[in-house]
A = this chain, B = another copy of it.
Amino acid sequence: MKIDGDRLREDIEANAEFGALDVEGHGRTVLTGTDANRKAREYFVERLEDAGLDVRVDSVGNIAGRWTPESADPESKPVAAGSHLDSVPEGGIFDGPLGVYAALEAVRAMQDAEIEPSRPIDVVSFTEEEGQRFADGLLGSSVAVGERSVEEALELRDGRTTLADALDTMDFDGEGRIDASEWDSWLELHVEQSRRLERADCPVGVVTTITGITHCAVEVLGEANHAGATPMPERTDALVAASEFVRDVEDGANEVGETTVGTVGKLDVRPNATNVVPGAVEMGVDIRDVSYDAMNELVSLARDSLSRLESERGVETTFSREFDLEPTEMSARCRRALHEAGDEANIELLDMHSGAAHDTMHVGDVTDAAMLFARSRDGISHNPAEWTEWGDCAAATRVLAGALTSLAR
């Protein structure tokens, strides 16, 4: 089976025009409900229809194009593949669109090769994976797996705009709910967003597990005071205490395990004036691992750090675990299909975990699911410098097409 790398590239480049930025690299900003998002969706629907797929848009704007060839039983569970078309602000052109258009290209390649699957194939784009406006992320897939109801989702707000308003503006407010549990299996191709494939000189990765994620909100309360008139021994400086916590999270992540990561990504000081001893600090902590036990261990080390700071520095602290997703293991059957496709096409594959969250975390809760990664230059993502070579895009799409063929056989 032959992938048409140029056809894939044309689609990704056409999609890159929507919300394109006039900056160095290849940047775009495509937020739900914007003109750029509407155009990207319209182009996608057009390309699905060009390939003879039946398009469905559901109530939360998820889009699926179904290919039901004569060989397939229309009543059998379809095999699905896809990703998302939205981006972070000033994001790259592959993160999301590669998985969407690779799925479409895989179907076109199967059509060209006159492959006769016995199951229909769905090419899918989920609404707002990046979580920039209406939710924390993985919005469309949360509805597709029934974790969040359509009604709840439509009422999510960005300021005064609801998701319902945003979909209506784009004319992408469809009907019903695309239900991922009705799929036989699911594959998502995505850019890697780290450097392991590059280092291993390997174009394509097969994800074994998507790490779990915990987000914790931490507050450190000291006493705001005059920076000149308050001698050092009389201070309860919330920022000095918080600084020890930041270091402790790093030390803890290094200590717990090789796959553990811990990040204090957000830190806000009050009152935040050069001449005032900081009175309070709020932090957001991100903890991930392929092992949920390891995640819990780091959470526990972070709490220990706060207890120590309370007794040693006289601050008060609060800690809450606001968001928690356990690690998601990928389906063995789907991973095997990917490895067989790699062998068949003579493309080297590397097993690896995903540190980033993806819609596949949700889909994996209701059906057999797996992911494959295409090598990213320097591991950069969420940035106009994000880049994946066209050859790697085609190689990963070839593996995807092979796996879809075998899953839909």
Assess whether A288 is in contact with B381, with CB atoms less than 8 Å apart: no
Contacts of A380 in B (CB 8 A): 225
Q: Mark A255-273, 1 if CB is under 8 A from B, else 0.
A: 0001111111111110011
**Number of copies of this kind of chain in the complex:** 2
Who on chain B is nearest to A257 by CB?
B232
Binary flags per residue of A314-327, CB closer than 8 Å to B gives 1, else 0: 00000000000000
Of the candidates B231, B240, B254, B379, which one forms a contact with A247 in the assembled complex, judged by CB atoms under 8 Å apart? B240
Q: Which residues of A, 358-409, contact B by the 8 Å Cβ criterion?
A: 379-383
Stretch at the interface among A148-156, A170-178, A276-284: A276-284
Once the chains are docked, how many angstroms separate the CA of A266 from the CA of B379? 32
Report whether B243 and A247 are in contact in the complex, using a CB–CB cutoff of 8 Å: yes
A276 adjacent to B232 (CB under 8 Å)? no
| Interface size grouping (class) on chain A | 35 or more
Q: Are A237 and B250 in contact (CB under 8 A)?
A: yes
Q: A193-B229, A263-B277, A266-B274 are in contact. List 8 more A-B contacts (CB 8 A).
A: A192-B229, A225-B380, A231-B258, A231-B261, A232-B250, A232-B254, A237-B250, A263-B276
Check A208 for interface membership: any CB of B closer than 8 A. Answer: no
A254 and B235 alpha carbons, distance in the complex (Å): 12
Residue of B nearest to A248 (CB): B243
Most buried by B among A224, A229, A261: A229
Given A243-B247, A244-B243, A246-B239, does the pair A193, B226 have CB atoms closer than 8 Å? yes
A264 touches B239 (CB 8 A): yes
Q: Is the CB of A232 within 8 A of B247?
A: no
- Interface residue ranges, A against B (CB under 8 Å): 192-195, 211, 213, 215, 224-232, 234, 237, 239-240, 242-244, 246-247, 250, 253-254, 258-269, 272-278, 284-286, 288, 354-357, 379-383
Minimum Cβ distance to chain B for residue A116 (Å): 38
Give the interface SS of chain A, mostly helix, strand, loop or mixed: mixed
Taking a contact as CB atoms under 8 Å apart, the answer to whether B228 and A288 are in contact is yes
Contact with A226, one of B254, B274, B356 (Cβ below 8 angstroms): B356
A286 CB, min distance to chain B CBs, angstroms: 4
29 A-B pairs whose Cβ atoms sit less than 8 Å apart in the complex: A193-B226, A194-B226, A194-B230, A213-B228, A215-B274, A224-B383, A226-B356, A227-B286, A228-B286, A228-B355, A229-B354, A229-B356, A232-B260, A232-B261, A237-B250, A239-B246, A239-B264, A239-B267, A240-B250, A240-B264, A243-B247, A263-B274, A263-B277, A265-B269, A265-B277, A266-B274, A274-B284, A274-B285, A276-B382
In the complex, chain B residues whose CB is within 8 Å of the CB of A253 = 232
State A357–B272 Cα separation when bound (angstroms): 19
A206 to B307, CA, bound (A): 42
B356 touches A228 (CB 8 A): yes
Contacts of A275 in B (CB 8 A): 215, 263, 265, 286
Q: Is the CB of A240 within 8 A of B229?
A: no
